[in-house]
């Protein structure tokens, strides 16, 4: 026989009323009106559990991004899924690549030059001039025309090689290579500087600039000039085929800034792939439809070039088969040039929603693989001239895509499970006649609900489910014009309680709530909006009847 801990014991003509001491495991509140007992009735009401279940506690987005906030609250209180992806996009040093540059030229003595040198008196001289040039070939971006390249690093080397026996002297000049003071490169040389027939001169190009020439045949021409004078050496007879060669090499170049016309090349933004699902494996759904969804794309442009987002490859696939391809009636996004330098990038926003696209078709309860690739085209209005674009060494283009999916839905089925901790104490007293368990459910969700509450012990074993069948909450709560509940539907159920059931409930540590949900007229009905305040409140208490001695 158990001992009843009597919190209320009153003697009224031998009428006793005992109540049970109880601990509430999930936020016990004031005893609800349904459990209030008038002083004259031989019934006491004891709250055991008062807890609330809501979707914001259990909703999660299955997604492979650590930056994702699964569920948030909109300004109007509505719950929404949020996902954010950052695209690193192009950076200047990878988008515009400076190639290594080489050019070579040789002056070879022919029959006429040999005869003239050999007939020349001792100390006589003859001067020659030649040039060496080559196109500075920019393959990325293709067809770029460069007006000026300010270098942060690089090396220039020229090599003179001679098989001539006469004394030589001369000048090598590169008009299109200027030092930090804008003075063109020039070196004076003579044959006394040669070692084993060669002269090699190198120059560190940090702070130097290239000025490609567009006025001659071809584009991006770097031209060198060399002049030299041959002084007749009486101890040497010139031979046909003797030569002087000149080789230029520009290598290991990195730029601080480039100015020119970069054409209509593409700026690619890094491709992303993500797996997205609206509900995790605690939910079973069918016939789910979403009313609204939106994409907000922010593009930050640190390139000195206008651009147009004219390609957004956005596809969704399920089990490896593509089933949705993005379509929109929105105009392409124009992205203005950075202002003066990469330190002043421009930021533009492109917004897409269900009114101008099929974006709602991309999201469902089942996991979907979503692939996204964006491409931005330079100079969408055509050529801008040789100095119309610029690119700083730390220039960049990046993007951020934000997805918002408000929980405005209709569904044939959404089943979910949630668990809360409880601590129930019931003590038996011999004078107790009988008792009932009263379950009160407050349905604040904008849909029909059937529920089952299962009490589990410390080992996770089900002790009691109160009812073998789910309890149907057929009546919807009162709704406003936006299909948002304004007054919950309240349902009361009473269950028989004996001491065997009471003993089991005393060992309960958790209660698992299983809910089966359906929106009204799911196929054709209004979409309902789920807000932060909505939930399913469950109250469980005792109605205790005492023995009466007359």
Task: Give the residue from 349, 341, 273 showing the smallest Cα distance to 313.
Answer: 273
- Whether 48 and 101 share a structural domain: no
- Whether 334 and 299 share a structural domain: yes
- Whether 320 and 399 share a structural domain: yes
> Is 7 a member of any domain?
no
> Is 20 a member of any domain?
no
> Is 8 a member of any domain?
no
> Is 18 a member of any domain?
no
- Distance between CA atoms of residues 184 and 470, nearest Å: 90
Backbone angles phi and psi of 55, in degrees to 5: -65, -30
309 forms beta bridges with: 333, 376
Backbone angles phi and psi of 89, in degrees to 5: 65, -160
- Whether 222 and 108 share a structural domain: yes
- Whether 536 and 427 share a structural domain: yes
H or E, element range at 370 = strand 368-378
Q: Any idea what DSSP says for residue 35?
A: G
What are the DSSP calls for 126-137, one per residue?
A: EEEEEEEEEE--
- Distance between CA atoms of residues 111 and 241, nearest Å: 9
- Whether 252 and 273 share a structural domain: no
Beta strands in 428-488 (DSSP E): 432-443, 448-456, 462-464, 471-473, 478-479, 485-487
Using alpha carbons only, give the angle 367, 368, 373 rounded to the nearest 5 degrees: 150
> Is 345 a member of any domain?
yes
Task: Give the residue from 344, 265, 350 showing the smallest Cα distance to 303.
Answer: 344
- Distance between CA atoms of residues 274 and 422, nearest Å: 39
> Is 10 a member of any domain?
no
Beta strands in 22-66 (DSSP E): 43-53
- Distance between CA atoms of residues 451 and 520, nearest Å: 17
Q: Any idea what DSSP says for residue 191?
A: G
Q: Any idea what DSSP says for residue 388?
A: S
- Whether 215 and 115 share a structural domain: yes
By residue range, what is the domain housing residue 244? 97-261
- Whether 357 and 470 share a structural domain: no
Cα 490 from chain centre:
43
H or E, element range at 167 = strand 167-178
- Whether 437 and 478 share a structural domain: yes
Give the number of domains in the chain.
3
End position of a domain, from candidates 341, 371, 406 = 406
Instruction: Write a three-state SS string for 472-527.
Output: EECCCCEECCCCCEEECEEEEEEEEECHHHHHHHHCCCEEEEEEEEECCCCCCCCC
Map residue 21 onto helix, strand or coil.
coil
- Distance between CA atoms of residues 212 and 134, nearest Å: 10
What are the tokens at 333? 């996004």
Backbone angles phi and psi of 238, in degrees to 5: -60, 145
Residues 6+ apart with CB under 8 A from 302: 92, 338, 342, 345, 392, 394, 395, 396, 397
Q: What pLDDT score was predicted for residue 309?
A: 87
Per-residue pLDDT tens listing for the chain (550 residues):
222 222 222 222 222 222 222 323 333 333 444 444 333 233 455 677 777 766 665 554 434 433 445 778 888 888 888 888 888 777 888 888 888 888 888 889 888 888 888 888 887 888 888 888 888 788 788 888 899 999 999 999 999 999 988 888 999 999 999 999 999 999 999 988 999 999 999 999 999 999 998 876 678 888 888 888 888 888 888 889 999 898 989 999 999 999 999 988 888 776 777 777 777 666 778 888 889 999 999 999 999 999 998 777 888 887 778 888 889 998 889 999 999 999 999 999 999 999 999 999 988 877 788 888 888 888 988 877 766 899 999 999 988 989 999 988 888 888 877 777 877 766 555 445 667 788 888 888 888 778 888 889 989 899 888 777 777 755 667 777 777 777 777 888 888 877 788 788 888 888 887 888 887 776 667 788 888 888 778 787 777 765 545 4
- Distance between CA atoms of residues 222 and 238, nearest Å: 33
**166, 117 contact by CB (below 8 A):** yes
- Whether 155 and 172 share a structural domain: yes
What are the tokens at 271? 């491709």
- Which CATH number fits the domain that encloses residue 433? 2.60.120
Map residue 112 onto helix, strand or coil.
helix
- Distance between CA atoms of residues 490 and 464, nearest Å: 23
Q: Any idea what DSSP says for residue 328?
A: B
Burial (CB < 10 A; 0-12, 13-18, 19+), residue 55, is buried
Q: What pLDDT score was predicted for residue 25?
A: 33
> Is 291 a member of any domain?
yes
End position of a domain, from candidates 373, 406, 439 = 406
> Is 530 a member of any domain?
yes
Residue 434 CB neighbours (<10 A): 12
- Distance between CA atoms of residues 515 and 530, nearest Å: 15
- Distance between CA atoms of residues 526 and 505, nearest Å: 41
End position of a domain, from candidates 195, 226, 261 = 261
Number of H helices, E strands in the chain: 4, 35
- Whether 108 and 222 share a structural domain: yes
- Whether 119 and 254 share a structural domain: yes
């Amino acid at each position: 026989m158990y001992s009843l801990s009597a919190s209320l014991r009153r003697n009224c003509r031998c009428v006793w009323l005992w109540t049970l001491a109880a601990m509430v495991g999930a936020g016990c509140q004031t005893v609800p009106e349904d459990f209030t007992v008038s002083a004259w009735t031989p019934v006491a009401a004891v709250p055991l559990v008062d807890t609330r279940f809501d979707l914001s506690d259990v909703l999660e987005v299955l997604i492979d991004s650590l930056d994702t906030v699964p569920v948030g609250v909109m300004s109007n209180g509505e719950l929404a899924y949020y996902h954010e992806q950052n695209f690193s996009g192009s950076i200047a040093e990878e988008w515009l690549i400076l190639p290594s540059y080489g050019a070579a030229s040789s002056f070879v003595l022919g029959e006429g030059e040999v005869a003239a040198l050999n007939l020349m008196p001792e100390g006589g001289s003859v001067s020659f001039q030649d040039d060496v040039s080559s196109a500075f070939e920019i393959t990325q971006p293709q067809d770029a025309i460069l007006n000026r390249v300010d270098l942060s690093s690089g090396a220039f080397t020229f090599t003179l090689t001679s098989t001539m026996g006469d004394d030589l002297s001369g000048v090598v000049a590169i008009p299109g290579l200027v030092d930090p003071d804008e003075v063109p490169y020039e070196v004076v040389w003579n044959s006394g500087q040669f070692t084993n027939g060669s002269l090699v001169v190198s120059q560190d190009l940090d702070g130097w600039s290239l000025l490609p020439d567009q006025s001659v045949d071809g584009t991006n021409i770097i031209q060198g000039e060399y002049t030299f004078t041959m002084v007749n050496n009486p101890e040497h007879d010139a031979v046909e085929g003797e030569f002087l060669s000149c080789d230029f090499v520009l290598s290991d170049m990195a730029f601080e800034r480039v100015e020119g016309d970069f054409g209509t090349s593409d700026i690619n933004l890094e491709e992303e792939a993500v797996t997205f699902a609206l509900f995790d494996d605690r939910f079973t759904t069918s016939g789910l439809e979403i009313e609204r969804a939106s994409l907000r794309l922010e593009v930050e442009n640190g390139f000195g070039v206008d651009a147009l987002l004219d390609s957004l490859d956005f596809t969704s696939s399920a089990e490896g088969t593509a089933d949705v391809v993005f379509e929109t009636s929105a105009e392409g996004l124009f992205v203005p040039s950075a202002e003066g330098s990469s330190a002043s990038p421009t930021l533009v926003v492109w917004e897409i929603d269900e009114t101008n696209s099929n974006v709602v078709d991309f999201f469902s309860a089942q996991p979907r693989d979503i692939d996204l690739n964006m491409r931005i085209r330079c100079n969408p209005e055509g050529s801008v001239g040789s100095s119309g674009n610029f690119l700083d060494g730390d220039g960049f283009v990046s993007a951020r895509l934000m997805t918002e999916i408000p929980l405005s839905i209709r569904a044939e089925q959404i089943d979910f499970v949630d668990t809360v901790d409880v601590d129930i104490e019931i003590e038996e007293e011999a004078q107790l006649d009988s008792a009932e368990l009263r379950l009160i459910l407050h349905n604040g969700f904008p849909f029909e609900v059937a529920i089952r509450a299962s009490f589990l012990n410390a080992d996770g074993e089900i002790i009691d489910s109160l009812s073998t069948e789910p309890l149907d909450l057929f009546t919807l709560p009162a709704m406003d014009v936006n299909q948002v509940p304004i007054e919950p539907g309240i349902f009361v159920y009473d269950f028989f309680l004996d001491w065997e059931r009471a003993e089991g409930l005393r060992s309960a540590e958790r209660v698992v709530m299983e809910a089966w949900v359906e929106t009204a007229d799911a196929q054709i009905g209004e979409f309902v909006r789920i807000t932060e305040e909505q939930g399913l409140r469950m109250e469980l208490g005792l109605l205790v009847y005492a023995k009466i001695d007359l």
